[in-house]
Amino acid sequence: MAARAYRSSLPPTWRPARAVVRRSAGTWTLQTTLHRHGLGPVAGVDEAGRGACAGPLVVAACVLRPGDARRLDGLTDSKLLTPAAREEYYALILQRCADSAVVVIPPAEVDRRGVHVANVEGMRRAVAALASPPGYVLTDGFPVRGFGRPALAVPKGDQAAACVAAASVLAKVTRDRIMVGLHAELPQYGFATHKGYCTPEHDAALTAHGPSRVHRYSFVNVRAAVGGSAAPPHDDGVHNDEVHDEAQGAPGDDAPNPGGVQP
């Protein structure tokens, strides 16, 4: 049976004008269109460390000012930027954004909840931590409910929507700084180089030294390194789950120690 087309019960004069947004129009177009239709401010949400087998999962929410396209020219997915460019955009985003918040989710919670559930919950908490509730939320890739605001999943959102790209930079730089700090404490794993992702070098270190307290025992390669054990020696007293309003910090200063991670 063919699906029936949806027809609105509202009179034509009450229906909002239809907005058509094309990806080729640029990364600020979606946010600008939502603002124009009275749905702003628009928050972008993204995470870093979802696929890593060590270290925290970091989720950020960011609200950009509608007129800052020129000042943030070139902003895109953090993975497509060089480390130096990410640091520059990180400082500029904190200086220019209307609002931002970062949530650090420790490995113990990732193991307990599962990475996807922890990620979704982190997104909700990041949006809830914003100083002012947004009018609309854009997420990267998959739909998320529970924001208390309308939301839209944007395919490749960190390349299609500037506010999502900004969130990806905040999350990535925050997490990379945490992993560099952990490298000073646990240099045998090479966290400063691979940031906890499952590279051949990281797997070799797992085989040689076994997992540390910051590894995620819900990942197959970590369990394999201890013969299949699912009992992680996490220290929740060290890896606190905290929310940070990064916009409160002065750009360019040393970042606060997110997540309570001790270098």
How much is the average pLDDT of 39-45?
Answer: 96
Give the pLDDT confidence score for residue 25 in this predicted structure.
46
CA 24 – CA 21 distance, rounded (Å):
9
How much is the average pLDDT of 232-251?
Answer: 42
| pTM across the whole model | 0.80
Are 243 and 258 in contact, with CB atoms under 8 Å apart?
A: no
Its CATH architecture, for the domain 24-174+239-250, is: 2-Layer Sandwich (3.30)
CA 94 – CA 111 distance, rounded (Å):
31
Give the pLDDT confidence score for residue 204 in this predicted structure.
96
Q: Where are the domains of the chain?
A: 24-174+239-250
R_g of the chain, CA atoms, integer Å: 20
- Of 255, 240, 244, nearest to 99 by C-alpha is 244
Q: Is the pLDDT of residue 139 over 50?
A: yes
Give the pLDDT confidence score for residue 158 in this predicted structure.
86
Give the pLDDT confidence score for residue 188 in this predicted structure.
98
Ranking 4-8, 132-136, 191-195 by mean pLDDT, the lowest is 4-8
Q: Is the pLDDT of residue 258 over 60?
A: no
Q: Sorting pLDDT into bands at 50, 70 and 90, what band is 262?
A: very low
- Of 249, 237, 239, nearest to 58 by C-alpha is 239
Give the contacts of 196 (CB within 8 A, at least 6 positions apart). Answer: 49, 52, 53, 54, 55, 179, 202, 214
Q: Sorting pLDDT into bands at 50, 70 and 90, what band is 5?
A: low
CA 192 – CA 141 distance, rounded (Å):
28
Give the pLDDT confidence score for residue 242 in this predicted structure.
43
198 versus 25: which is more confidently predicted?
Answer: 198
Q: Sorting pLDDT into bands at 50, 70 and 90, what band is 4?
A: low
237 versus 131: which is more confidently predicted?
Answer: 131
Give the pLDDT confidence score for residue 104 in this predicted structure.
98
Q: Is the pLDDT of residue 19 over 80?
A: no
156-209 pLDDT, tens digit per residue, is 888 999 999 999 999 999 999 999 999 999 999 999 999 999 999 999 999 999
